[in-house]
Amino acid sequence: MTENNLHHLAIIMDGNARWAKKNSKTKAQGHKQGAEVIKTLLPSVSKLGIKYLTLYAFSSENWQRPESEVLLLLKLLNNYVDSTKKQLLEHGIQLKIIGKLDRLSASLLSKIDEVVDLTKNNSKMTLTIAFSYGSRSEIVDACQNVIDSGNKIISEENFKDFLYDPEMPDVDLLIRTSGVYRLSNFLLWQAAYAELYFTDKLWPDFNEDDLKEAIQNYSRRKRTFGAR
């Protein structure tokens, strides 16, 4: 755990399309640049001693975007899973992907399963990518799982066992880029007591210095969890 007790960092990676427009690039180039930022920041997050990193890559609502953009984002996920294996193994990072994955193609699901299995024993850090993900759906699905299990008594502690990833700890710090001030249906259960940090930086411009600035801001906060 870091000296600031930052165990779980979550990031809403927002601003790829606006970055593309601002820099006279295509949306495809904006999303590709955003994916490169992930690869660049992973070693930095690991070096800081953060054990869990969860990234919001594609929401359940994003399926409503133009088909060409959806196909591009699916291709980017496919390429990222393919190209990041070596980095994940080198840095001892376990990969998990959560969301409505039944909407993905069989070939992409097979590729995801392969890398998830390949990295399952890595213990330095866990990288979770939320793809085709919506927190309300996760909570509703968890309720259905409770009903299906026949469990008659539920508590906050055992409800967690029915979420997409029962091992995911509560979020300590949630960062959103691009100057938008909302959670957009991301980790509503897990981020109940998260510290929120918003920056005007567009995600493709976000770098290690920006990450450190967010963590320094977090370290100056006093977390009471409702107590005094």
H or E stretch including 134? none
Query: How many helices (DSSP H) and strands (DSSP E) are in the chain?
Result: 8, 6
Residue 110's alpha-carbon distances to 70, 81, 115, 133, 187, in angstroms, are 19, 11, 9, 19, 25
In angstroms, rounded to a whole number, what is the distance separating the alpha carbons of residues 218 and 6? 9
Active-site annotation holder among 14, 16, 172, 205 = 14
Per the annotation, the verdict on 205 as an active-site residue is: no
Closest CA to 169 of 91, 52, 24: 52
Closest CA to 188 of 203, 168, 207, 202: 168
Per the annotation, the verdict on 62 as an active-site residue is: yes
Active-site annotation holder among 62, 78, 122, 207 = 62
In angstroms, rounded to a whole number, what is the distance separating the alpha carbons of residues 190 and 164? 11
- Which residues carry out catalysis? 14, 62
